[in-house]
Structure 1
């Protein structure tokens, strides 16, 4: 099951903001020494000892750690209070108490600013960015990341800078600005490499893997998860090793290599249990359940999906519970127990509606339709497919928000133009004024003084106009970028909709064909009519005409250039070329064109010949047009 990588990533290697006492045989003796020190220390020293004691418990008992941090805070040692707040923030983060998390971070920031302590201030701002990210306030999160990053770089705190860049990339990935996300990650890797910060490199590799995973490029995702694992092994980071191992298992599952998926998840689970990483543990159990369901092993399927559900209920996460129920439903569907699958989908759908989990609701309706199709309940299956499409449309209202942003950008551009016009008008008035002075009775001195003032003001206004012109150009460029991004998204969405529609219609058609051998008479005649209607839908030109409109808006000269190379290209050649231009896989193309995989390969071979490409790669050629 595809994971929501942003949620996992922040919990990947917990407590990256502050150092943690290492787990070793000397930990107990270290705690004992600190406790003994409390017996012979003054108030200021006790605060420092309580702080250090709390740090030693962060890995295994956060309630004890919180108690020590609170005792340190009560002693009012102003010097270390920002650091105490920073450590307390880790407690509230792990308890998912966002309100308390934001309060302690703001308290710490106020103190750190008054004390002029940039190193702690950077980490507190970084933590506040994470807090707002968890609270889904992404614009505010980005502001605090930016502020923290500037202070970190100014004070050469490159480790924190690298971490902020990685976490910030999750925002841009969420906003579907993946090029910007990759740029942030590339910058993070360079900074981390320059200071030998291997953990920072590993976190960046992991996020790159997550981005490729979200783009369904599982081969590249696997490559970066393996890089993550190697980096984590270099520094013997137990949690990093476990997370990377689990993600490798996730990629192998998506690639259909079930035995390897099971092997890697089984390696990760004991460590995830030891470090009490419940969200990652739930995901591993879910993947194991799916892997065994695809191997038709019902006992092990139920064993692991039930473990995922129990853990989700234990931590009280409705999001995790709904995902686990969806996985259980998918597992039963793989086992061809479609009615049981739908029972769990009902529970999943109810929770997803309650918490507004649109993506999971969309996925659940689609699976429900597929199950009903297998059960021969075609009318009901069609209804659930419509529900799936309605949810998808509601999710795509994000496009409307982007359009609003475009309108706002245009408004700001007009405002800039108005200011420019006002300044130019002001200059004209001053030009008239200076001419009048030249002919006035005030004489040469007044003329020289006035001219000097005028020249100064003129240069000042010219500078203002240049700045406003620059801002106007930037706003126009941003507006064009937003429009292109929206059109690209519309284009890809439409292509994927065609693919999903054709998949389901083909499944309906095949099911009806199987049934036609078992019925006779009037029912068979009606079945034939229904099959013909489905066939017509599969070959409909309506979807392609809409697709062509979107495509030509984004790739204006592509079709004319193709026709210029060979005017004899058929409509099927053009369709194949446009889908390859969108970098769709052969499997996706086969589904959209309603042909088999080998037919796609044959069509590509014919197209390559028609375009007179001998040794040149067809995909690369089309991408560069």
Structure 2
């Protein structure tokens, strides 16, 4: 039996809302009286207070007063009031389930907060966005906003409390099925919290961790935490929490086989549930008692509690999961008591409620997908509106400038027609001449820059080719000195073929990708010969890449392949394999060079630092030259040690244009 956090807190939230509604009525009347004589910022704050007061009673009025607060803030240029109003409207819409509107207001609040460097509200909006995306089922986006909250506070050394962000991360990790990460986040929230309600937070965290322990079947640890929470609830005289706590403790004792303790706690929970009219908790207790009697083989009592459980659930709308569990428990009891006909009846009802639950889940998933689609459409509309507004502002500004120029010129012409005419003509000629000269200078400058860029590329490529040829000649020298004439001749034959291709394409800075790949294949064959074919290699060209369409800088990839062979594979004993792949991704050609060598060990890094490769330093300059065509990191090196094997993966992005 798994324990659900949602069912526990839905009861707490219901009673919280009821209490808030009663306490807010007097506050609303008081604020309305103050509003009669208020003005400016005071009026903004009263509107906002009314909005917050109506939030649990009348959401339409809450939104109405929130919009009034926002409108008044804009009228008097009260930026702080505008930020607060936008944030509160985001919260109110989120509470009503109107998540697209909620995200719209939160994003507007975030934009203004960033503009005014209001880090407190930036933090609050990030946290709220995380909650909204969690509710619509977009867990990765939710996680990213919680992490942004933590990064903001950490990077700027802010003193804001981020324990709520860690608590929310804990809940999110639990929903994502990562209990260890959830516990780590809960403990971090507790560690950094410095507020006055530390005991309350500590007990909430302990309850959350206890539920995780229970679901992991670590009942003893869960029981210990539930008992501590129960002691705190007794001090606070929190009867709702006590009721739920007794039920949880009973469930722990039940799973630990301590029947008497389990029954005692279930009975205590039942007394409080009846006293407080907790209709949602009563079936939970009945289910626990039925399970307890079943395990003790007291089938008569088990059947009584099971029937009471089903009867209590029939008075509740929905609750398909609880109803399915109730009939499943009834089936188990009747089957154990050998009442097979009744058992089959409950089994059929179990399957029926399972289908209902699946339908309910599908409807919820469809609703979440619709909400995510609405959010996407809303974002696109906002972007389109902002673009349209920018265009309109530009046109208005241009028209205004034209009108001013026209008026000024007209007045000048009317006042001194003849004089201004000649001066105007003279000035026009001078301006035209100046523009021609400026244009000529600009064109010459552009040509010079292009020539410089071309020369720099040729220089780097010219440096690259001798380096490559030198390495190949060193390999031939090694084979000859080893008296391996046959392999030396094979190597020399392939090298001459490679050298011919290099010389034939020496007049070009770039090569068609197909030709570059052929050069690399020959190079790898040469290296394989050089090292007695001690490593295998694979060349992969993805179907989505047209290797005859794009050009790439000549021998750009070769130094990375050389590095993989020399510093990766040749330092390893056993099976050695090199993989080179090319594929197209949007505006880039992606080349991945992966080996199963020794990886980036500290020894390799120190060795490379002491003796930097000439080829790699030249290639680094060539990569830097390519960065003017992209704002993205073009080369990434990844150590594969953490993925279950050793080795290195180098990813190179080559701009297509």
Q: Rg: which structure is higher?
A: 2
Specify which structure has the higher proportion of helix. 1
Query: TM-score w.r.t. structure 1 length?
Result: 0.49
Query: TM-score w.r.t. structure 2 length?
Result: 0.47
Specify which structure has the higher proportion of strand. 2
